[in-house]
Structure 1
Amino acid sequence: MTTFPVFGVAGSGVAVYRKWLDAVSDNISNINTVRPTSEAAFRARYVIAQATQLEPGVGGVTVGGIRLGSAEGRMVYDPTHPFADEGGYVRLPDIDLGSQMTQLMMAQRGYQANLAVVDRARDAYSAAINVGRNA
């Protein structure tokens, strides 16, 4: 058993939130990726978090997988685009910017909260060590 399990628990949270931040930033950066109608649209990435046991009696979280969004995307009429088909349509991803921004904020806050837990635990353990030194 680890002497300081809080670091493992919070560290697992940091890792999952980091993957979530990466997925959301990838989705936002590809929100205007245009493809021909004969190809699949950019598929949004969604992180699936899964509870895990880091050691006996100590839980944590891990990335259980990635779910991909729709390959159909949405058809947009843009006859001047070089990828436009004979009808003037191109394919864009079906990604909602408002939803992605909300997810970005939630992931960022979760990431920060887990880092704050690590900071508080480090401070508490340091204070406990200093108490022992002054005794």
Structure 2
Amino acid sequence: MTIFSAIGIAGTGVTVYRKWLDAIADNVANINNVAPTSGEAFRARYVQARAASYGTGEGGVVVAGTALGDPKGRLVYEPDNPLADREGYVRYPDVDLGSQMTQMIMAQRAYQANLTVVDRAKDAYQAAIQIGKG
């Protein structure tokens, strides 16, 4: 693997983890959105990744798609809510804050690790240039 391919592969990881962090931020921002029981709850987004060139060991990773959460969400009894139905229920997204925070930590660490690979590859490239000058 060359220095430039290491930078390219790590760059694909940075992109995927950034999109994962964006999805988590969107999920957390909408965790308290209320909908009437006649409508859909906010649907959480879950990023799906796959190898860019599976089996070759090259190419890095890409976002394969996005899975959406359950539109039914969870029913909560809030009779004072203006969106409540006759029985007093409203619909909230089925998003678990603890799970989202755990995913955020994993995505942040992976994002940072990929940036570190880019930084180390850049340092190796600059050291090789200095050897050539010397």
Q: Which residue of 1 aligns with 2:112?
A: 112
CA-to-aligned-CA distance 1:89-112 (integer Å, 9 cap, x gap)? 100001111000000000000000
After TM superposition, the score normalised by the length of structure 2 is 0.94
In 1, Cα distance between equivalents of 2:117 and 2:3: 16
Kindly report which structure 2 residues correspond to 1:1-135, keeping only aligned pairs within 5 A, or say none.
4-53=4-53, 58-134=58-134
Question: C-alpha root-mean-square deviation of aligned residues, in Å?
Answer: 1.5
TM-superposed deviation, 1:58: 1.9
Corresponding residue pairs, total: 132
In 1, Cα distance between equivalents of 2:29 and 2:107: 16
In 2, Cα distance between equivalents of 1:51 and 1:4: 18
| Helix, strand or coil at the partner of 1:4 | helix
After TM superposition, the score normalised by the length of structure 1 is 0.93
Aligned letter for 1:50?
Answer: R
TM-superposed deviation, 1:7: 1.1
CA-to-aligned-CA distance 1:5-30 (integer Å, 9 cap, x gap)? 11110000000000000001100111
Aligned letter for 1:43?
Answer: R
